[in-house]
Chains A and B, each alone.
Chain A
Amino acid sequence: MNQQTQRSMSSVIDQQILWNRLIAIVEEQAQTLLRTAFNPIVRESGDLSAGLFDIRGRMIAQAVTGTPGHVNTMANSVRYFLEKYPLETMHPEDIYLTNDPWKAAGHLNDFMLVRPCFHQSQLIGFTSCTSHLADLGGLGFGPDGSDIFDEGLFVPIIKLVDAGKLDMTFMSILKANSRVPIEVEGDTYALINCVECGSRRLSACLTDLGLADLVQISDYIMDTSRQRTRDLIRALPEGSYSHSMRVDGYDEPLDLVATMRIADGVIEVDFSGSSGVSLKGINCPLNYASAYSCFALKCALAPDVPNNEGALEPLVIKAPESSIVNAAFPVPVAMRHVVGQLLPDVIFGCLQKVTPDLVPAEGTCCLWDLPLRGGYAGGQNTGKTKFATELVHNGGTGARPDRDGLSATAFPSGVMGSLVEITESVSPLIIWRREYRMDSGGAGKFRGGLGQVIELSSSEEAPISLFAALDRIHFPPRGFAGGKNGKAGRLTLSNGTEFRPKGEQEIPAGEKLVVLTPGGAGYGDAKHRDPSLIEQDQNFGLVSAEAAAADYGVNAVSAKGDNG
């Protein structure tokens, strides 16, 4: 090796090491929150996010652990805090809080905390985190509210901790407004822990590396990420591309319409033409619609560019005011994820027209979660166990341009499905069946992922209430490039009664609820499917002999090895 002198180490490598360290700090924040959270949806499904910001309020790092629903909402939110509390008023031990859906993460249940970070007595940046609290009063977590005031306690940006002193008045109001006061208190403490741990780590890291502030690294991260994202966009053909998708809605179908304009290294998505606001709580504030739109763009174009403001800057999401994807105060927004999680398929629909074979066909998108309650009868003692639980399940994802879709798998959300033995140990339910739903994956050169069949009943011969907020029951996922549609979802009782996709409905004692989750759509013409895959699907009992004959033109051979 040439041993010439090298006085100062390359700033590039130093910057990159620091960048890695900052990402590790936000991951550590997210892990702290995951392990101390009370709300199951946080720890099982990662409904949280953690980020680091510079003093200008620019997000410089965000944990990968967490939900796509917070990707972009968090990036913009710290600025609102800075408007309310100017830099010069901040104390090293302050912590600020809001759950304003239009400033934080799209519905009241998401609390967002921001803490200033001081290093050597100088304010250098902020740590921030968001997570989902189980209950804030109102009608409870469901789509049935008529305005935001039905949906629970609204907390504007406040100082939760003032120079190290926790606002106990606020904590008592919070607890008094929740059906589960101990959990929401515990979760608030978990959030406090999370931002404090991040601040400590950040200061220790700067000490270790002998740095005074984040000014240089922040610019480096922004510039590198912005540049990379723009380069990736520049590789796409410029132009304007539109796509439209009809979905179930609350009581009438909704149209989600997007026009994607690609020019000069920027992608602009405009949701003009989409349906207006819903009377019920499935509306999306624009920040939340942006989050899932940016998530889809990142997956398709730049999955390896870390999340930060620079990476998001070239992605511009717009929507006309008072549309379902830019719902303004005070419309109800509690279940905004039902619509938000469908947006990636609208974005993919546009991208399919930009560059073929980049994105998957349509899939289930929205979670098939089943909030169930039982044992309540007007406050009277029924002798049955009182319970409230939420089973989380999924349908199939759309087939990819080069491979089949994933069966019974969450996308775009990152949740974990429920296990039968755990469900049965925490609630008086029996799950009678949880298996792949044969023939539900849309046919194609590549097959859509299968949905699943779930059958459940009370273990006590008691009625159960279902609070549904599901989609893709009236309008199934659609295939791309000649692929067939996936099977629509279905909710019925064992006696044949059909359930609506949304709203409270009762499962009478002695009946089973039969849940058929949707299958993903196919990609490409079914006649080009590899015959060995068709044979394997039959052999595995994923495709019936009849469907193989109808969809793939295969002579019916009785399925082998299927005893299920």
Chain B
Amino acid sequence: MSVSKNRTRLAADIGGTFTDIVLETPKGLFTAKVPTDLQRPELGVMQGVAVVLANAAVCAEEVDVFIHGTTLATNALIERKGAKTALITTEGFRDSLEIAYESRFDQYDLSIEKPSQLIPRNLRFVVSERLNVRGEVLIPLDRAGVVRLVPQLNSLGIEAVAVGFLHAYSNSEHEQQVREILIDVGCQAEISLSSEVCPEVREYERFMTTACNAYVQPLMAGYLRALEGTLRASGFACPLYLMTSGGGMTTLESAVRFPIRLVESGPSGGAVLAANIAAELDERKLLSFDMGGTTAKIALIEDFKAKTARNFEIARAARFQKGSGMPVRIPVVEMIEIGAGGGSIAHTDRVGRLCIGPQSAGSVPGPACFSQGGEQPAVTDANLLLGRIDPDKFAEGKMKLDSRAAETALVKHVAEPLSVSLAEAAYGVTEMVEENMANAARIHSVEHGADLSSFTLIAFGGGGPLHGVRLAEKLGIDRIVIPANSSVGSALGFLSAPVSFEVVQSLYTTLHDFDVTAVNAMLDRISAEARDIVSAGSGGAALVEARSAFMRYVGQGHEIQVPLPAHQLSEQDVGEVSKSYDSCYRRLYQRTIPERDVEVLSWSIVVSTVELSIEKTTAPVNYNDAQASGERSAFLPTEQDFATVQTYWRPDLKPGDQIRGPALIEEPQTTCFVNANFTGVIDNNANLILERVVR
């Protein structure tokens, strides 16, 4: 990582199991991993912070900035542990949130249950009002009806209210009036308006996003204020920023208003890390692969930027099935997440096929080799039996792994049902989980018109380095980067995120009937809104603005994001926008449809601070054969057999050190398995670079 000189910056990532802390100082990088304190998360953070400050001999007052990401909002939604929330919506549409798309997420399962409602029907209230698609009032707001709701809301103990009216994205007045009335009449709850949280067309997603925002708001506001108080009390005087799902950071005030944007901040930090390493190494096409205990996340990084999207589905049901969660429309780093991690359980299905996950053993009971009562074999058990993990060095040697338990589990649940040997079973488990991840990556690349064989893979997270090589082979990728400190990758990414905020607004137009004045007025308004939020945290730094439009051929159903010039549009610009649409469309789908008009549904403006300029790495001066730290027996896919393999201790490796596969490169939190088809070298930034030499 490039270190910004003379600044002392602190990042903390609260995950479901561990809280990762990274301190960047002019002297170097200090990291800590502590268990997450589920009751008082800020205490867990402070515990880890104390460790790194002590190790670095830095005091709280010296820290220039603190960047924080957390899964608390996500967990509250998954576990349905948010506030008691009510919805106020347009009369006649009480069930929009529940009816959704009228579909089943599993075609063949007769016993599916739809996701339980955040806001049950008895807490969904309606008032008389109606706007049309242009925002014109068809039925005025029944103000007295709103007043009458307040005693009911208060007596029900409602802590948060989501207000969502039809077409409020085109006229927010009725929603604003509801908020004013609620406050005037003494409603105690926090209030989220759909026209502020998500001013986009499609009532189901807009109401859902607003409902989720309201649902986590009291909890997140309380937590963030408590954290701020604790930091101040501990002597920190620096600004506090929150990492968002979109790969930028935002101010405390904006996080309190839009806590829904804090979901998925950890994975977005990982993508920021990948984008930075892409810039350092001048890799224009990078596939980011972050594999943890429960899931693997795969993202495309092109031209040093992670792709972003506007949709994210929170809290999918147990099998991670698409459509089984709650879709929210917020800016997110676009990635696919599949149920493939070190804890993913191997089993055979009713057809007798070997399946991996998506069920995970988690950290409790964990894989069978953890000896914590887990009896089903997990991916980690297979890696252990294949000799890829040293049973004595797992998690910095804090946990001794039991090979016998792994063997028993794998024999019972895989080898016997399939009538194969133990080695075949263990290798089959790793191959199958890698196959699943490769299939997911292929589908993702098709959706973006990307040819993966020209990409470089970056692998991190606890499982990334173990499975990166085989994944690359399956995808036809020849070059792999394993960054230093890869197990705290997300927190590391926070350090290089810009302060940024994105506003997406719906305003329908076709290119044929393009109303330049109306579009400019709307863009100016949302630009000012985003600038206000970013300026509050940028400390006067220069800001950049990226504008884009979500467009499609009239009659199509899927929009593509097309860049717009970063200034007021003129009539001439419309022709340029059209050309820009054509080239984006061609890139995705090979051909355009010349006679067809194009429509714009929504517009986006991202305002951010200028990203830190990243120094390109230089090549090592000398190349030497690396010194092996030892050897052990490991299964080699190329030989289909066990053989003696050299091990290396990564913290001891120097720039220019070369390693020929097969090899096991160990570090405190993970191990990189290199097969005979690859060689590795350590670069000047301590990245491990693997190249395929045998095809």
Residues of A at the B interface (CB closer than 8 Å) are 1-10, 12-13, 16-17, 19-21, 24, 27-28, 31-32, 35-36, 38, 40, 43-44, 64, 68, 182-183, 186, 189, 193, 197, 201, 204, 208, 224-225, 228, 298-300, 303-306, 359-360, 392-394, 400, 402-403, 406-411, 414-417, 419-422, 424-425, 430, 432-436, 452, 455, 459, 539-542, 560-564
The A contact surface, by secondary structure, is mixed
Please give the distance in Å from B340's CB to the nearest CB on chain A. 13
In the assembled complex, the Cα of A410 lies from the Cα of B123 at a distance in Å of 26
Are B443 and A31 neighbours in the complex by a CB distance under 8 Å? yes
Please give the distance in Å from A407's CB to the nearest CB on chain B. 7
Are A6 and B111 neighbours in the complex by a CB distance under 8 Å? no
Q: A1-B385, A17-B431, A415-B102 are in contact. Are A182 and B350 (CB under 8 A)?
A: no
- Of A183, A408, A563, the most chain B CB neighbours within 10 A belong to A563
In the assembled complex, the Cα of A419 lies from the Cα of B424 at a distance in Å of 50
Contacts of B328 in A (CB 8 A): none
Judge if B428 is at the interface, Cβ distance under 8 Å. Answer: yes
Judge if B393 is at the interface, Cβ distance under 8 Å. Answer: no
In the assembled complex, the Cα of A430 lies from the Cα of B111 at a distance in Å of 35
Are A20 and B102 neighbours in the complex by a CB distance under 8 Å? no
Are B590 and A7 neighbours in the complex by a CB distance under 8 Å? no
Judge if B57 is at the interface, Cβ distance under 8 Å. Answer: no
Picked from B132, B446, B558, the residue with its CB within 8 Å of the CB of A197 is B446
Q: Beyond the given A1-B403, A182-B595, please list 6 additional residue pairs across the A-B interface where CB-CB is below 8 A.
A: A1-B422, A32-B446, A35-B588, A402-B111, A420-B96, A542-B121
Please give the distance in Å from A376's CB to the nearest CB on chain B. 18
Are A24 and B102 neighbours in the complex by a CB distance under 8 Å? no
Judge if B624 is at the interface, Cβ distance under 8 Å. Answer: no
Picked from A201, A421, A432, A436, the residue with its CB within 8 Å of the CB of B95 is A436
Judge if B94 is at the interface, Cβ distance under 8 Å. Answer: yes
Picked from B350, B431, B642, the residue with its CB within 8 Å of the CB of A228 is B350
Q: Which residue of B lies closest to A201 (CB)?
A: B442
Judge if B542 is at the interface, Cβ distance under 8 Å. Answer: no
Picked from B92, B102, B104, B427, the residue with its CB within 8 Å of the CB of A433 is B92
Q: A12-B418, A38-B556, A43-B556 are in contact. Are A403 and B111 (CB under 8 A)?
A: yes
In the assembled complex, the Cα of A407 lies from the Cα of B133 at a distance in Å of 28
30 contacts between A and B (CB under 8 A): A1-B385, A1-B426, A5-B642, A9-B424, A13-B418, A13-B424, A13-B431, A17-B432, A28-B442, A28-B446, A40-B557, A43-B557, A208-B474, A299-B109, A304-B108, A406-B104, A409-B103, A409-B114, A420-B93, A421-B133, A421-B167, A422-B201, A425-B133, A436-B94, A436-B95, A540-B121, A561-B122, A561-B123, A562-B122, A564-B121
Picked from A32, A306, A414, the residue with its CB within 8 Å of the CB of B104 is A414
Contacts of B556 in A (CB 8 A): 38, 43
Are A24 and B443 neighbours in the complex by a CB distance under 8 Å? yes
Please give the distance in Å from A530's CB to the nearest CB on chain B. 16
The residues in B between 440 and 468 inclusive whose CB is less than 8 angstroms from any CB of A are 442-443, 446-447
Are A425 and B201 neighbours in the complex by a CB distance under 8 Å? yes
Contacts of A416 in B (CB 8 A): 101-103
Contacts of A400 in B (CB 8 A): 110-111
Q: A9-B424, A16-B432 are in contact. Are A303 and B103 (CB under 8 A)?
A: no
Are A540 and B95 neighbours in the complex by a CB distance under 8 Å? no
Cβ proximity bits B370-403 to A, threshold 8 Å, 1 near / 0 not: 0000000000000001010000000000000001
Q: Which residue of A lies closest to B106 (CB)?
A: A303
In the assembled complex, the Cα of A408 lies from the Cα of B204 at a distance in Å of 15
Please give the distance in Å from B356's CB to the nearest CB on chain A. 10
Are A13 and B103 neighbours in the complex by a CB distance under 8 Å? no
Return the 8 tightest CB-CB contacts between A and B, nearest first.
A417-B102, A561-B122, A433-B92, A24-B439, A13-B428, A303-B108, A540-B121, A10-B420
The residues in B between 621 and 635 inclusive whose CB is less than 8 angstroms from any CB of A are 633
Are A10 and B435 neighbours in the complex by a CB distance under 8 Å? no
Judge if B596 is at the interface, Cβ distance under 8 Å. Answer: yes
Q: A197-B446, A403-B111 are in contact. Are A410 and B102 (CB under 8 A)?
A: yes
Q: Which residue of B lies closest to A393 (CB)?
A: B102
The residues in B between 574 and 609 inclusive whose CB is less than 8 angstroms from any CB of A are 588-591, 593, 595-596
Picked from A31, A299, A560, the residue with its CB within 8 Å of the CB of B108 is A299
The residues in B between 100 and 151 inclusive whose CB is less than 8 angstroms from any CB of A are 100-104, 107-114, 120-126, 132-133, 138
Judge if B203 is at the interface, Cβ distance under 8 Å. Answer: yes
Cβ proximity bits B397-441 to A, threshold 8 Å, 1 near / 0 not: 000000100010000000000111111101110011001100100
Are A19 and B113 neighbours in the complex by a CB distance under 8 Å? no
Q: A19-B353, A434-B95 are in contact. Are A414 and B103 (CB under 8 A)?
A: yes
Q: Which residue of A lies closest to B201 (CB)?
A: A421
Please give the distance in Å from B16's CB to the nearest CB on chain A. 28
Picked from A3, A189, A304, A434, the residue with its CB within 8 Å of the CB of B633 is A3
Judge if B641 is at the interface, Cβ distance under 8 Å. Answer: yes
Are B442 and A24 neighbours in the complex by a CB distance under 8 Å? yes
Are B424 and A10 neighbours in the complex by a CB distance under 8 Å? yes
In the assembled complex, the Cα of A43 lies from the Cα of B589 at a distance in Å of 15
Please give the distance in Å from B350's CB to the nearest CB on chain A. 5
Judge if B694 is at the interface, Cβ distance under 8 Å. Answer: no
In the assembled complex, the Cα of A422 lies from the Cα of B204 at a distance in Å of 11
In the assembled complex, the Cα of A44 lies from the Cα of B556 at a distance in Å of 10
Contacts of A10 in B (CB 8 A): 418, 420-421, 424, 428
Contacts of B421 in A (CB 8 A): 4, 6, 10
In the assembled complex, the Cα of A430 lies from the Cα of B138 at a distance in Å of 10
Are B92 and A455 neighbours in the complex by a CB distance under 8 Å? yes
Judge if B555 is at the interface, Cβ distance under 8 Å. Answer: yes
Contacts of B443 in A (CB 8 A): 24, 27-28, 31
Are B447 and A31 neighbours in the complex by a CB distance under 8 Å? yes
Judge if B352 is at the interface, Cβ distance under 8 Å. Answer: yes
Are A9 and B640 neighbours in the complex by a CB distance under 8 Å? yes
In the assembled complex, the Cα of A299 lies from the Cα of B111 at a distance in Å of 10
Judge if B553 is at the interface, Cβ distance under 8 Å. Answer: yes
Judge if B349 is at the interface, Cβ distance under 8 Å. Answer: yes
Are A1 and B407 neighbours in the complex by a CB distance under 8 Å? yes
Are B351 and A419 neighbours in the complex by a CB distance under 8 Å? no
Are A3 and B102 neighbours in the complex by a CB distance under 8 Å? no
Are B107 and A304 neighbours in the complex by a CB distance under 8 Å? no
Are A16 and B133 neighbours in the complex by a CB distance under 8 Å? no
Picked from B96, B349, B641, the residue with its CB within 8 Å of the CB of A304 is B349
Contacts of A16 in B (CB 8 A): 353-354, 428, 432
Please give the distance in Å from B79's CB to the nearest CB on chain A. 21
In the assembled complex, the Cα of A542 lies from the Cα of B595 at a distance in Å of 49
Q: Which residue of A lies closest to B117 (CB)?
A: A540
Picked from A8, A68, A186, the residue with its CB within 8 Å of the CB of B640 is A8
Contacts of B320 in A (CB 8 A): none
Picked from B92, B423, B555, the residue with its CB within 8 Å of the CB of A183 is B555
The residues in B between 524 and 564 inclusive whose CB is less than 8 angstroms from any CB of A are 553, 555-558
Are B555 and A64 neighbours in the complex by a CB distance under 8 Å? no
Contacts of B203 in A (CB 8 A): 419-421
Please give the distance in Å from A520's CB to the nearest CB on chain B. 12
The residues in B between 262 and 300 inclusive whose CB is less than 8 angstroms from any CB of A are none
Q: A7-B640, A408-B99 are in contact. Are A225 and B104 (CB under 8 A)?
A: no
Judge if B508 is at the interface, Cβ distance under 8 Å. Answer: yes
Q: A24-B442, A540-B121 are in contact. Are A2 and B111 (CB under 8 A)?
A: no
Q: Which residue of A lies closest to B642 (CB)?
A: A3
Please give the distance in Å from B76's CB to the nearest CB on chain A. 23
Are A459 and B132 neighbours in the complex by a CB distance under 8 Å? yes
Contacts of B100 in A (CB 8 A): 417
Q: Which residue of B lies closest to A559 (CB)?
A: B122
Are A394 and B422 neighbours in the complex by a CB distance under 8 Å? no
Q: Which residue of A lies closest to B436 (CB)?
A: A20
Cβ proximity bits B338-377 to A, threshold 8 Å, 1 near / 0 not: 0000000000011111100000000000000000000000
In the assembled complex, the Cα of A225 lies from the Cα of B110 at a distance in Å of 21
In the assembled complex, the Cα of A35 lies from the Cα of B428 at a distance in Å of 33
Q: Which residue of A lies closest to B407 (CB)?
A: A1
In the assembled complex, the Cα of A40 lies from the Cα of B436 at a distance in Å of 30
Contacts of A305 in B (CB 8 A): 350-351
Contacts of B447 in A (CB 8 A): 31, 35
